[in-house]
Amino acid sequence: MRSPTRLALLGTALTAVAVAALTVQAAAGSSASTPTCASSQLKGKELDSNGAAGTILFSVTLQNKGSACALKGYPALGIANAQGLLPTKAVHGGLAVLNSTPKRVNLAHLGKASVLISFEDVPVGGETNCPAGNAIIVRPPGAWEWLTIKVATEACGSGTLHESPVLAGVHSSQ
C-alpha cells in the first residue's frame, strides 16, 4: 500500500510534467503560427558596405512595421537603375560570411532582420564594364511583392549577387 504522502508527491510530479509539456507545445505552436511577413509590413534599408579585392559586401536590414511575423530562407533579388531592371542572377552563399543554414526569424513589431549581399566589381570573361544599379529589389521569402532599397551596385558576372539567408537581428558587413 502506498502512503498518502507518496501519492501526493507522485501527483505533483505528474502535474508538473504535464504543465511543462503544455508550455513547450504552446510555445512551439505560437512561433509556428506566426504569419509570414508581407513586403508591405517591412521597411528595407542599406546598413553599410565594405569592399576588398574586387568584392563588395553590403548589409540590408528589414524592419517590421506591422504586427509579429516571421521569415525563413533566401529573398529573391534584383538590380535596378533609372531605366528599369537589370539582368540579375542571385546565388545562395559563396563567401564564408554568407554560408548559413536558413533559420526561422520571428520579428516582433519594430524587430529587425538582415540579409548580407555581395557582388564582384571586376569584369568577368568578355565583359568590358559592369552595369551600374542604384537600387536592389528584394522579395522576402514567402512574400509576393518587392521592396526597393537604395544601394549603389556595379555587379559584374551578368549581375551576379551572392546572398545569405535572412538572419535574425542587425548584421554589419564589417
pLDDT higher than 50, residue 6? no
The predicted pLDDT at position 88 comes to 95
105 and 84 in a single domain? The answer is: yes
pLDDT higher than 70, residue 42? yes
90 and 28 in a single domain? The answer is: no
53 and 85 in a single domain? The answer is: yes
Decide if 106 is inside a domain: yes
87 and 24 in a single domain? The answer is: no
Backbone angles phi, psi at 30, to 5 degrees: -70, -40
Question: What is the average pLDDT value for the chain, to the nearest integer?
Answer: 86
User: In this structure, which amino acid lies at residue 50?
Assistant: N
Q: Which of 95, 94, 105, 112 is nearest to 72 (CA)?
A: 105
DSSP string, 123-156: --TT-SS--EEEEEEEE-TT-SS-EEEEEEEE-H
The predicted pLDDT at position 32 comes to 62
3-state helix, strand, coil in the chain (%, to 5): 20, 40, 35
131 and 163 in a single domain? The answer is: yes
Write out the residue range of the structural domain in which residue 24 sits. 1-33
Lowest mean pLDDT among 4-13, 72-81, 150-159: 4-13
23 and 72 in a single domain? The answer is: no
94 and 162 in a single domain? The answer is: yes
24 and 48 in a single domain? The answer is: no
Average pLDDT over residues 23-28: 38
pLDDT higher than 80, residue 87? yes
Decide if 44 is inside a domain: yes
pLDDT band at 166 (very low <50, low <70, confident <90, very high): very high
102 and 86 in a single domain? The answer is: yes
The predicted pLDDT at position 33 comes to 85
114: its cell numbers: 538582415
pLDDT higher than 80, residue 15? no
The predicted pLDDT at position 12 comes to 44
Give the list of residues 6+ apart from residue 160 with CB closer than 8 angstroms, or none: 88, 89, 90, 91, 119, 120
Decide if 174 is inside a domain: no
The predicted pLDDT at position 52 comes to 85
Decide if 159 is inside a domain: yes
CATH code of the domain containing 52: 2.60.40
pTM attached to this predicted model: 0.81
64 and 29 in a single domain? The answer is: no
pLDDT higher than 70, residue 157? yes
Q: Which of 141, 153, 151 is nearest to 113 (CA)?
A: 141
Domains: count for the chain? 2
Decide if 173 is inside a domain: no
75 and 160 in a single domain? The answer is: yes
81 and 95 in a single domain? The answer is: yes
Q: Give per-residue pLDDT as tens, 97-127.
A: 999 999 999 999 999 999 999 999 999 889 9
SS3 62: strand
